[in-house]
Amino acid sequence: MRTLISTAFISLDGVVEGPGGEPGYRNSGWTFKDVDFVAEAFDIKAREQKESAAMLLGRTSYEAFSPVWPDMADFADYKAMPKYVVSTTLTDADLVSNWGDTTILRSLDDVAALKETEGGPIIVHGSAALNHSLSDAGLIDRYHLLVFPLLLGAGKRLFSTTDKDTQKLKLVEHEAYANGLQKNVFDVVR
């Protein structure tokens, strides 16, 4: 079975919305406007590209990333790997042509089936609503979190508010940086 990894920039109060300056969010750009840059805190991002074999996105994140990421040197390794977009509304005509093979998945059952295929880890970027659904369905195996020392208040959250049984996590890697960022890697305990 393939490992499904959710990766996120997240504020201390759980917000994942607008980290890179996306329009429409009051605190947009909080990852670079409000915290000093420390390069080694972002080493995990380069490692994710090298270790992942596929990328999974929700429709909203796909529509935000696909016009920009294909031409960015920082995301070159993602260009060649297969991408999967979970959406009930996208069509093949909506997909960009310069970002490699992209497959539309229509349901969480399709995601579960993808996890059963041969291959390496599948990384999930952004995709707050998809993360909620994946977590609630027990499909996420690992979290890569860069926790920013900020309280943002309102905004999209990484974790679902569904009333459910406790989900235990095991901390498998962590580091704190001089700027207050924390890297936390958790495996989901089954």
pTM of the model: 0.95
pLDDT tens per residue across all 190 residues of the chain? 999 999 999 999 999 999 988 888 999 999 999 899 999 999 999 999 999 999 999 999 999 999 999 999 989 999 999 999 999 999 999 999 999 999 999 999 999 999 999 999 999 998 999 999 999 999 999 999 999 999 999 999 999 999 999 999 999 999 999 999 999 999 999 9
What is the spatial distance between Cα 2 and Cα 70, in angstroms, rounded to a whole number? 24
Q: Reading across the β-sheet that carries 102-105, which strands appear in turn?
A: 102-105, 83-86, 54-58, 122-125, 4-11, 142-148, 182-188, 169-176
Nearest one of 81, 16, 73, 26 to 50, comparing CA atoms: 81
10 Å Cβ neighbour count for 66? 18
Fill in the amino acid letter for 55.
M
What is the spatial distance between Cα 167 and Cα 4, in angstroms, rounded to a whole number? 16
How would you classify the pairing of strands 142-148 and 83-86?
unpaired
Fill in the amino acid letter for 11.
S
